[in-house]
Structure 1
Amino acid sequence: MDTAPRPVGELTYRDATPADTTALVMLIESAYRGDSSRTGWTTEADILEGQRTDAQGVLDVIEAPGSRLLVVEREGDLIACCQIEHRGEAAYFGMFAVAPGLQGEGLGRRIIAGAERIACETWGVSQMQMTVITVREELIAWYERRGYRRTGKLIPFPYGDERFGIPQRDDLTFELLVKPLV
């Protein structure tokens, strides 16, 4: 078996359309929930069960004013996605998923840099914001290495709303992370 790293080819970004909804739901679910998510390192399977998103949630992001759900493709294959949303002087980064079998190739850092560039070009924003579940220390550390900083601003987890998953612990909360883009 060849274990050499695969070359990371050219990435293309495009806006998602309603026709992409099913494939995007499958990608996001595979990156965060269930056994398939354990192939990568972004899994939330140990802290949340149930769904990460659904078709309506994806469509809402695609159709929301001031929001773009970016489809990331390599050689015509859907390999990742992320949302950017205009919020005044900032853009919000969310719904980030990389196919679990491709995680660890350096795609994530390339994709987030591309999303930051697109947000700056599209809206002229000076800051990117995101929220991350605070118990995801390894993920927060990864974002910190990309220039994001913790703000200490906490946002309650939506307990009882199964659209966001079924919590397996009672200490979940989100923290706002920010990165200056200028």
Structure 2
Amino acid sequence: MALSLEKTPIEGLTIIHPHVFEDERGYFIKDFEASFFKANGLPIEFLETNESKSKKGTIRGLHFQQHYSQGKLIRVIKGDVFDVAVDLRFGSPTFGKWMGFELSEYNHDILYIPDGFAHGFLALEDDSIFSYKCTNKYAPEFDSGIRFNDADINVEWPVDKIGGWDKVITSEKDAKLQSLKDFIAKNEPISFDI
């Protein structure tokens, strides 16, 4: 029962294809194997697991922690989401660049986002359940983010799949997040530890 992985053009951002066995009863998924993760330079220790359920059209993000930055291992258990990672590592050749991935209960793909990234997603189906393991603890005092519609990052959200921009649901907090320019002007790199 082998897992496989796919590297992306952004260093560290990795898609993991789990082993999936399906028959008339349903399916069995092997989505983590410490030896495989370690051999491929992925973390094997996660400190938290979180889950969210979202209505179709919900955009969450783009979130990060300024300190105690979290690497995230993400899988969609139910439904379908468009998941986005933005490289915020100062000095990275892909700083400010984003990539998007469709993660769903249908393709079973898993995304690993290293620390130093902003992260968000758009729920493409009602009651999409999103589960993720984190390499660091949640530190609400360092909670931060960049607006999902920041013009400089220019994420191409597939809003046509939800009926257009007028169907987008977001929190008041996310709508008021800083811009990429504001983040750069502070000149404070994201750190894993204080």
TM-score, normalised by the number of residues in structure 2: 0.29
* Structure having the larger proportion of residues in helix: 1
Higher strand share: 2
Q: Scaled by the length of structure 1, what TM-score is found?
A: 0.31
State the structure with bigger RCO (CA 8 A, min sep 6), 1 or 2.
Answer: 2
